[in-house]
A and B are shown apart, each in its own frame.
Chain A
Amino acid sequence: MTKPVIIAIRGLSRAFGEVRAVNAVDLDIFEGEFITLLGPSGSGKTTVLRMIAGFEKPDSGTILLGGKDVSQLPPYDRDVNTVFQDYALFPHMNVISNIEYGLRVKGVDKSDRRARAMQALQQVRLEGYESRKPAQLSGGQRQRVALARALVNRPSVLLLDEPLGALDLKLREQMQIELKELQRAVGITFIFVTHDQEEALTMSDRIVVFNHGRIEQIGTPREIYDNPQSSFVSEFVGQTNKIEIEGKKINVRPEFIVVSKSTSYGNRSVQGVLRDAIFVGATTRYLVDSSLGNTIISTNPREAIAIGETVTLSWDKEKEFLIQ
């Protein structure tokens, strides 16, 4: 990457009581990228985001925003804006007043304010909703207002704290695409927090995987998926089979395991019995009781197999991830 660094995090730590929520995190975020902080709940991803926004103060470490240490500054002195998990729209203000709030605080004059707010409203395709109250909007519309309210300030970085969590699946998938397109259009750095690995893979330029307050791995979605550096990453991102073979512990993704009646399609093979086949729409998950003593899942059948039949599972060794 030759892009300049916009946020440089060094040795960032924060504890809540005995729990080390964030533990010595180092991270560089580049200008204009869509970066996702991914991890299970309690992994520290949201705390990192809240420290960038200024809602939490770090116990130690620095956050350089455009080269300036902002870690001790209050939220209102930082050139970042946040889209909150449950939107946090001001319930007593209508849509346009919500969007204008940041500009009004900064003393932008009325006509300029209105023009910019209308433009932001257009960007999120909500023209005509200016005078609605948040309570009169659907979840997806509130989401868009929250986005417009943050983007209208033209921050150097936009922080998004699980903004799609409250939406239903269809709307979430649609918003994922919209968000990505919006980010390309405005060219602002997006830092997106989620626990949904699919969402992370869909939207991000880079993914940062968090676990127990530490960074497990940083990489492009493809790097993270194809080449996980730890068993945690391989298990958390995508599906994986934990297998112990020839004295080694390995992980293999279900789509790389071929299940057939007797033929082997790779340089590694294991016998088993088909216990169940679960139809999940685009794929079918084959649950095989293997001769290794565990259940191995495959989504890659070569022929029709009946439940209870003896099968051969096979894969290429190159597709295995070794677990340390």
Chain B
Amino acid sequence: MLDSVATAMHRRPRLRLAALLTAPVLWLVVAYLGALATLLVTAFFTIDSFTGNVVRKFNLDNFHDMLTDAAYKNVVLRTLGIAISVTLLCSVLAIPMAFYMAKIAKPKSQKILVALVLTPLWASYLVKIYAWRTMLEPGSGVVDWLLGPIGIHSPGFGGPAIIIGLSYLWLPYMILPIYAGLERLPNNLLDASGDLGAHNFYTFRKVILPLIFPSLVAGSMFTFSLSLGDYITAQIIGGKLQMLGNVVYQNFSINLPFAATIATIPVSIMALYLYLVRRTGALASM
């Protein structure tokens, strides 16, 4: 029986492909693209201000409200600023770490380091952010207690705290692709650059950085998009600060269509980001 199925499959390549891809394609189309499409459509609906029910009538009121209210523009800019800062901070921290892991550490400790980088991902998101809350608590937090005596104080809850917290959360997603990129980079290119007279920083700028650029882009897609959509971190350690996610969250129960309209912003920003990345050609070598 199984044999005859296998033989039948062997003769029909299309059937084999169907067996392989039906489940993932169904998932992608129904759950993933379906949800996105629903979001997009809902963004053009409104609610009845008296009953609070969604009115399924296509109009641009929500977009008009969103684009004319300066408060939303500030939230967008603030969220963008935070996402960019997190991405930059993660890059600055990840490159030397990944370089050490890929090029300096012995093969045995390499594996241990990869495992160590991954360990924070095993802990719950909430636990980690509450941990940061106790660390950054002004006056009584771990940061003030430990670093206060040498004059370093907690930035308190707000923008800097959000950037620190998100950078902490997403750093592994930046380290791993850069580590993989550096692993693939032949050592003799570094030797060759030095041999031709280049000091280490010159080699970094002219040889290492251009060659790991696709890895940096891959990592930034994680750090940037995850930061763009986050709202829990802002809620817990952001003080009064709001990110786009918080606005979506607040509107979710009272005005679902408007929440959907706001949610199209990070989606559009990510689409634009991917388009720009594509134009640099970095995706071609990934």
Contact = CB atoms under 8 A, between A and B. Distances in A.
Interface of A: 53-55, 74-76, 80-82, 84-86, 88-92, 101-102, 105-106, 149-150, 153
B47 interface: no
Contacts of A92: 210-211
A88 B188 contact: yes
A101 B207 CA distance: 10
B147 to A, nearest CB: 37
Contact of A88 (B186, B198, B206): B186
Interface of B: 186, 188-189, 191-199, 202, 206-207, 210-211
Contacts of A81: 195-196
Contact of A84 (B191, B197, B202): B191
Interface centre among B192, B199, B210, B211 (most CB of A within 10 A): B192
B192 A76 contact: no
B167 to A, nearest CB: 29
B211 A91 contact: yes
Contacts of B211: 91-92
A103 to B, nearest CB: 9
A85 B210 CA distance: 23
B108 to A, nearest CB: 14
Contact of B198 (A82, A105, A149): A105
Contacts of B202: 105
A149 B207 CA distance: 15
B210 A84 contact: no
B197 A88 contact: no
Contacts of A91: 211
A contacts with B: majority SS? loop
B197 A55 contact: no
A86 B188 contact: yes
A76 B199 contact: yes
B194 A75 contact: yes
A84 B198 contact: no
B194 A74 contact: yes
Contacts of B191: 53, 55, 75, 82, 84, 88
A75 B195 contact: yes
A83 to B, nearest CB: 9
A102 B198 CA distance: 8
A90 B191 CA distance: 11
Nearest to B192: A88
B192 A82 contact: yes
Given A91-B211, A92-B210, A102 B188 contact: no
B285 to A, nearest CB: 9
A80 B141 CA distance: 57
A234 B32 CA distance: 72
A153 B197 contact: yes
Given A88-B186, A101-B196, A153-B197, 11 more contacts: A55-B195, A76-B198, A82-B191, A86-B188, A88-B192, A90-B192, A90-B193, A92-B211, A102-B197, A105-B198, A153-B196
A277 B211 CA distance: 55
A13 to B, nearest CB: 21
A76 B193 CA distance: 8
A229 to B, nearest CB: 34
Q: Which 9 A-B pairs have the closest CB atoms?
A: A102-B196, A75-B194, A88-B192, A88-B188, A105-B197, A82-B195, A105-B198, A92-B210, A76-B197
A150 B192 CA distance: 9
